[in-house]
Amino acid sequence: MNGIEKILAHIKSESDAECEAIEQNAAEECGRIRAEFAKTEQDEYKKLMEAGTNDAERRFERLISLAALESKKHVLSTQQEMVTAVFEHAASKLLELPDSEYVAFLAKHACAASLTGTEAIILSPSDKSRFGNDVLLAANSALSAAGKTAALTLSDKTSDIRGGLILSGGDIEVNCSVDALVAEQRNELSPAVASVLFD
């Protein structure tokens, strides 16, 4: 081996060693970058998972709140419908009273609403034809028995009411229709009815 070959072999040896060192450094750098990236990726994944979980929990809580609110509204609406049905049933029961009891009911309310004893009793068309004179006689009789003026009259007019009566005197009309009487009682009795139905 002559001198040039020795120099070339030496340069090749150094070059191989340097290449090997560079490759090793590059491999270590790649490993470090991979590890860093893996940690960053893991951290980012964890962050996204936590954010997604928190968002899902918040949405779930909102949905639960909305469902609870809708449920309460539905329950209240159903309760209101049931209370309404009770008072509608009460009105129906009044309209289905036996004739003599119904006449007494109308006469009682005519007397209670009368201020002068000279008002006109207005009935529905069917009640007027069936009970008009009986109601008038019973109301005037009750007023007379109470020592009051007993000069109520039966109006020629009728009213578009289901039952009950309207007492008219001058500019004043007192609505004693079954629906008005039940509505008046409803304001007072709704809490008690609700308590019986739902407690």
Q: The domain that contains 115 carries what CATH number?
A: 3.30.2320.30
Looking at residue 22, what is its pLDDT?
73
Looking at residue 148, what is its pLDDT?
93
Looking at residue 66, what is its pLDDT?
86
- Statement to judge: residues 26 and 84 lie in one domain: yes
What is the spatial distance between Cα 132 and Cα 129, in angstroms, rounded to a whole number?
6
Tokens read off for 93: 């029961």
pTM (2 decimals)?
Answer: 0.62
- Statement to judge: residues 194 and 114 lie in one domain: yes
Task: Name the phi and psi angles at 194, rounded to 5.
Answer: -60, -40
- Statement to judge: residues 68 and 132 lie in one domain: no
- Statement to judge: residues 125 and 160 lie in one domain: yes
Spell out the per-residue pLDDT of the chain, length 199, in tens.
566 777 666 666 776 677 677 777 767 777 777 777 777 777 777 887 888 788 888 888 888 888 888 888 887 787 778 777 877 888 899 899 999 999 999 999 999 999 999 999 999 999 999 999 999 999 999 999 999 999 999 999 999 999 999 999 988 999 999 999 988 888 776 676 667 666 6
The last residue of a domain, from among 75, 96, 117: 96
- Statement to judge: residues 73 and 146 lie in one domain: no
Q: Torsion angle of alpha carbons 156, 162, 165, 167, nearest 10°?
A: -70
- Statement to judge: residues 2 and 39 lie in one domain: yes
Looking at residue 47, what is its pLDDT?
83
Looking at residue 75, what is its pLDDT?
76
**Cα dist from 25 to 37, 51, 115, 127, 156, whole Å:** 18, 38, 113, 110, 116
CA-based nearest residue to 88, from 194, 189, 183, 163: 183
Looking at residue 158, what is its pLDDT?
95
Q: What angle do CA 184, 84, 160 make, to 5 degrees?
A: 60
- Statement to judge: residues 34 and 79 lie in one domain: yes
The residue range of the domain holding 80 is 1-96
The last residue of a domain, from among 62, 96, 130: 96
What is the spatial distance between Cα 148 and Cα 101, in angstroms, rounded to a whole number?
23
- Statement to judge: residues 191 and 101 lie in one domain: yes
Looking at residue 78, what is its pLDDT?
78
The last residue of a domain, from among 96, 124, 152: 96
**Cα dist from 44 to 35, 39, 53, 167, whole Å:** 14, 8, 14, 82
What is the spatial distance between Cα 34 and Cα 37, in angstroms, rounded to a whole number?
5
- Statement to judge: residues 68 and 38 lie in one domain: yes
- Statement to judge: residues 15 and 25 lie in one domain: yes
Give the chain's domain count: 2
- Statement to judge: residues 115 and 92 lie in one domain: no
- Statement to judge: residues 28 and 90 lie in one domain: yes
Looking at residue 73, what is its pLDDT?
84
